Amino acid sequence: MQCHEAGGGRTVLLLHSISSVGAPLEMRPLFEHLAKSRRAVVLDWLGFGGSERAERSYTATAYETVLSTVLSELGQSTNEAGSCGISGRGADVVAPSLTTQYVAVLAAREPERFGRLVLISPTGLGRFVRTTGVNAKTAAVTLRLPGVGQRVFDGITSRKGIRRSLENLFADAARIPPEYERYAWASARQPGARYAPLSFLAGRLEDPDAPEAFRSLCKPTLMIFGERARFSDPEAGLELARRNHNVTVELVPESGDLPQLEHPERTATIVSEWLSTDPHPQ
């Protein structure tokens, strides 16, 4: 697996989304902004970016195990550096989209591993709760048939396919960063690039425990939604915040599901201010 690190001080772990066009480059604006005041670490998930893209079983459980391992490694290096030992808190975590499910499930199970959470366009809430089961297994088997999975992947990661996906994720297609679009296309041309995204398309990467984990969050959590989101549910986030006092919701105007790319400065300011807030004021 590949990680990128910059800055110094309190640790914040940034995780990119997992999808047909998921790429670590989507977290660069936040990474660069946060690294000015803290130790920022961004992880390339297995199957994406510079990490291994082997033909393996990609599941929600596997990714949660990866996240748990990374948090353990960060905790050890943080303790050695002595930068976070005073607070006794785990690492702050910023995650978008499907990845928010893994953060929520692990935070519900092991809250002491986490500090403050920022969940951007979380899925697994409201209208976007997907169920796994027979359909996911059938889709996974079909996409593994000789030639079938590669043809499907080639279609969704063609230049037109990537452009169409990004247009659905942005409120204004004119704000799609050209370098991100080029990176998504180039990344999809790497050996083994299809394996993890095809598991996503088959529905095998959803965690059925995520809805309950979101409801039971006990860590200070900020949920950020674009006001014009198509694949996340701001109303469900606002309803959750009314029921769970640990959850705060911020809406980014004129934004779709990738506010960290569509309005990077505005989103970075929201995230930075939230992470800087003392959860235990004297």
pLDDT at 80 over 50: no
> Helices marked H in the chain — which ranges?
28-34, 60-81, 99-109, 134-143, 148-156, 159-169, 178-187, 195-201, 210-215, 234-243, 259-262, 264-276
Q: Tell me the CATH number at 232.
A: 3.40.50.1820
Does residue 89 form part of some domain? yes
Selected residue with higher pLDDT from 68 and 140: 68
Does residue 43 form part of some domain? yes
pLDDT at 127 over 90: no
Q: Give this prediction's pTM.
A: 0.90
Give pairs for 273-278: CB < 8 Å, separation 24+.
Answer: 274/116, 274/118, 274/222, 274/248, 274/250, 275/12, 275/34, 275/38, 275/92, 275/116, 275/118, 276/37, 277/116, 277/220
Does residue 245 form part of some domain? yes
Does residue 282 form part of some domain? no
pLDDT in tens, 134-192: 455 566 666 766 678 888 988 999 999 999 999 999 999 999 999 999 999 999 999 99
pLDDT at 41 over 60: yes
Question: What per-residue confidence (pLDDT) applies to 37?
Answer: 94
Does residue 281 form part of some domain? no
Question: What per-residue confidence (pLDDT) applies to 278?
Answer: 63
Q: For the chain, how many structural domains are there in total?
A: 1
Percentage with pLDDT > 70 across the chain = 87
pLDDT in tens, 233-275: 999 999 999 999 999 999 999 999 999 999 999 999 999 999 9
For residues 90-103, give the mean pLDDT. Answer: 96
Question: What per-residue confidence (pLDDT) applies to 32?
Answer: 97
Does residue 138 form part of some domain? yes
